[in-house]
Amino acid sequence: MLIFSLLALSSSLTIPLKLSKVSLNTEGLSPSSLAKIENYYNTKYYGDIYFGTPEQHFTVSFDTGSSYLWIPSYECTDCSASNFFYTNESSTYQSLVTDVTMKYANDNVTGIASLEKVCFRDSSHLEATNVLFFLVHNTSGISLPSDGILGLAFSSKLNGYLNFVDSLKDQGKISSSYFTLFLSNNILGDYIATEPESSISFGDYNMSLTSESDFRYVRIYKKSGYWFSGLDKFAINGKTVNLTAKYVVFHSGAYSIQGPQEDIEKMTDEITKKAYCYNLNNYIFCYCSSYSGYPVLNFTVDGKTFELGPEHYTVRAKGWCMLMFESVENFQAIALSQPFLRKYYSLFDLDNGLVGLALAVETVKLQNSTTTTTTTSQVLAFGAVGILVAYLVRKIRKQQPEADYNILAS
């Protein structure tokens, strides 16, 4: 089974999370090209990508939980996508004939293994040829805010082929196989933009996105094919809590902190000890006029401790907080997903099997005074915070992974 949900030499690529192009102002950062990216309610981060000759436009979610790149075929009748790939319109398309099925929770995504030129239009030099991707013809009705997914785990899962990042290095477009990820916070979609905008950079990094001078690196179990590391200890406000999970996985495609049911219950029980909370469809809502009284979580990973406070592990609106935790069957690890990655600017090094983490700069939100804000405010005013957020969670939940963490034992 696959982990799913929900980047130099002469050039590198940075994709910001919003409509307008911005310039990077960091000394030593090589010239970068910028493209439009969207933040879908803090659950998916996706942007523009182009396939074929001539180019056909798609959007893809950036997911460290898989190695697979896929987009929908024009033959897909149940795809919710806006754009579809037409093989007869590309002179560089090659079919490998083989059908591959990818597992999503209770649904399957099936596509034909193929090779194609893949690029970002805003960087003429940052493209790779003969990139392995899957041309999907059946999704079992799975709904995504993007057309497809760009997997950012290791190439070892691709049966001898290289993933997109490794292809860029192999073809001399970037000097090293690594990418950096900065995720902003825009949970209810009430903001027309955030500063800095969310971004993913292939073969480059931007230290203006962190308040620290350098990354702290943790080692990854490369043989797993995914971004696993050892979990040495977990504590809440300094008090050790014994978990069954002995590993963490860094997963940008998941909207909540995930793990074995026993471990998630231990975490939420400790967090809610002194709070007024209730359970709605297995999601916990707590009264929180402020964050005071809510504990800080400490994850010690490969000998280094990283904190996560309530402003990151909850969604807060109108005096209520929803805890962003979810138990998943057959999990043998804790998924340090989007709530964690919004706090830490992260560098994923495929060459050396490392993840670097540095405190991200605080996101400044630019308020939108038009329809979206008004609509959300009206809903909140009627005391429907729980219903609103629960609806959002249920809508996104179908996109979350069914994962097999036993791969560490292989």
User: Helix, strand or coil for residue 180?
Assistant: strand
pLDDT surpasses 70 at 45: yes
Share of the chain above pLDDT 90, in %: 53
Both tokens of 405, joined, read: 């963490």
Rounded to 10 degrees, what is the CA torsion of 249, 324, 331, 220? 10
Comparing C-alpha atoms, which of 132, 173, 234, 236 is closest to residue 30? 173
Quote the pLDDT of residue 35: 41
Fold adopted by 12-182: Cathepsin D, subunit A; domain 1 (2.40.70)
Between 232-236, 324-328, 374-378, 385-389, the lowest mean confidence (pLDDT) is in 374-378
Query: CB–CB of 320/383 below 8 Å?
Result: no
Query: Is-contact 286 276, C-beta < 8 A?
Result: yes
Residue 249: pLDDT over 90: yes
Q: pLDDT tens digit string along 57-79?
A: 999 999 999 889 999 999 998 88
Q: Which is nearest to 306 in space by CA: 384, 226, 215?
A: 215
Fold observed for domain 211-409: Cathepsin D, subunit A; domain 1 (2.40.70)
pLDDT at position 362: 81
- Give yes or no for residue 369 having a pLDDT over 80: no
Give dist(CA 198, CA 181) in Å, integer.
Answer: 8
Cis-peptide into 72, omega within 30 deg: no
How distant, in Å, are the alpha carbons of 17, 209, 215, 347 from that of 206? 15, 6, 11, 10
**Alpha-carbon torsion 267, 270, 273, 274, what sign?**
negative
Helices 371-381 and 385-397, axial angle in degrees (round to 10): 120
pTM attached to this predicted model: 0.84
- Which amino acid does the sequence have at 331? F
SS3 sequence of 49-73: EEECCCCEEEEEEEECCCCCEEEEE
Render pLDDT for 277-304 as a digit per residue (tens, 0 to 9). 988 878 899 998 888 889 999 999 999 9
Q: Could you give the CA distance from residue 295 to residue 196 in angstroms, rounded to a whole number?
A: 27
321, 314 in Cβ contact below 8 A? yes
Per-residue pLDDT averaged across 229-248, rounded?
A: 97
pLDDT, residue 231, reads 98
Collect all residues with Cβ–Cβ distance below 8 Å to 79 and sequence separation of at least 6.
Answer: 72, 136, 139
Specify the domain boundaries for CATH 2.40.70.10 within the chain. Answer: 12-182, 211-409
By mean pLDDT, which of 26-40, 166-180, 242-256, 324-338 is the weakest? 26-40
53: pLDDT strictly greater than 90? yes
What is d(CA 252, CA 17) in angstroms, rounded to the nearest whole number?
Answer: 14
pLDDT at 192: 55
Return the pLDDT at 191: 54
- Rounded CA gap, 338 and 347, in Å? 14
Ranges 12-21, 143-152, 268-277, 364-373: which has the least confidence? 12-21
Please tell me the distance from the alpha carbon of residue 104 to that of residue 198, in angstroms, as a whole number: 26
